[in-house]
Amino acid sequence: MSVALGITRPPLVRTIPIDHPGDLVARLPQAPPYAWVHRGEGMVAWGEAARVDVPPGPGRFDWARAWLADVFGEASVDDGVHVPGSGPVAFGSFTFDPDAPGSVLVVPRVVLGRRNGRAWLTTVGEAPMELMTPPRGPGEIRYGDGSLTAPQWQHAVGRAIGEIRSGRLEKAVLARDLVATAEREIDVRLLLRRLADAYPDCYTFSCAGLVGATPELLVRHTGQEVESLVLAGTTYRGPGPAEDHAQAAALFASRKDRYEHACAVASVRDTLAPLCAELTVPDQPELLVLPNVQHLASRVRGRLADGASVLDVVAAMHPTAAVGGTPTGVALEVIRELEGMDRGGYAGPVGWIDGRGDGEWGIALRCAQIEGRRARLFAGCGIMGDSDPAAELAEAQAKFRVMRYALEG
């Protein structure tokens, strides 16, 4: 960390307990924000004590862990709280495709956290004075096609269905993008505010311009305990309770959605089993109800057999069948052939890791990459042999609404 700071002595990382900080998102200054918030708890951060672009390739998670060990090892740590997320912390975003550039790790200068009734403040070196200004709206938003038009994407879905029916693979997840251009520079704090308020059951995140509210927890690592929330199988929200119930019943009865979910759960189970001394996988999914959609959900829990860090688990799990397909290798080939775009951080791991190896990482869904006045929105759908291209397009449009709401209010 001293190299990144341009100093010769080890920086002091100090974590102190504080009184209840109130709304975490509201405490963010104008500096580019980092965030991981769920039901009002989590962490927000700003400033950069250290930052690195992780080289692409199959060994990127090993490289990232080694870099973090060096950076955290240089620091002098005074941690008066000793909870997951206290002490030195890095936020990170990894690209979906391991061969694509764009993965990044950042150690913020200031971290504000709250968990289970305890709150803390972490500073690295001298905390910078940041400008506290109210976020300003982006003004008028204009939308345009991304890499593929809607008809072109439907055609790609049709081709994926053909590949599945031919026996090449069982499932492929195809994504599409949408480009938004704002009248003024987009203030990420405003997006975080709207997302955290509207989607409290999701994990609202911000890292290096990638902003969103994902419902999917890839892994939570606390000591030796790990947990993953698997989502696959989606339907819309109805206009009222009766319609909601009918939609949920149809989702549970859908052979296509249940099989898609089973593939995703099997992917996580098979990945975690070699790492865990104990593993609990539910027999049946439950329903996760969000403001815009409903998902089939399964919570998988385990106890690690050794001292693996959260990044080791992330490396083993990504990409899951929920965002790639089955079998994974063939699904990635089909995605590269048909999507016509680089996903960047979309559907890649995003989250945080502390100096003990604990952390929380989600799959970057319901998100956008923000650059000045431009936002690139993403949405994806699980394609099976009996999928309907028009229905998949409608599902993608429904998933775009999350970030459209964040931009437009």
Strand partners, 43: 36, 113
Query: For residue 80, is it left (φ>0), alpha (ψ between -120 and 50) or beta?
Result: alpha
Ranges of H-type helices in 226-323: 241-253, 255-272, 310-317
Cβ neighbours for 287, distance < 8 A, ≥ 6 positions apart:
248, 251, 252, 294, 295, 296, 297
| Cβ neighbours of residue 69 closer than 8 Å, sequence gap 6 or more | none
The span from the CA of 16 to the CA of 122, in Å, is 7
- Residue 186 identity: I
What separation in angstroms does the CA of 79 have from each of 124, 242, 302, 319, 355? 12, 51, 28, 34, 11
For 44, phi then psi, to 5°, come to -125, 155
Dig out the tokens for 343 from the structure: 């996903």
Helices (H), 126-240: 150-165, 188-198
Supply the DSSP symbol for 178.
E
Residue 275: DSSP 8-state? G
Amino acid of residue 287: L
Pairing, β 12-18 against β 76-79: parallel
H/E segment holding residue 256: helix 255-272
Active site residue 171: yes
Distance from C-alpha of 203 to C-alpha of 216, rounded to nearest angstrom:
8
State the Cα–Cα distance between residues 190 and 370, nearest whole angstrom: 12
Q: How many CB atoms lie within 10 A of CB 170?
A: 17
- Is residue 382 within 8 A of residue 171, CB to CB? The reply is yes
CB atoms within 10 A of CB 354: 26
Beta bridge partners of 369: 210, 376
| Residue 399 a catalytic site member | no
DSSP structural state of residue 340: -
What single DSSP character describes residue 27?
Answer: G
Residue in 48, 74, 163, 171 annotated catalytic: 171
Q: The tokens 């929105």 sit on which residue?
A: 377
The catalytic position among 74, 216, 360, 395 is 216
Active site residues per annotation: 171, 216
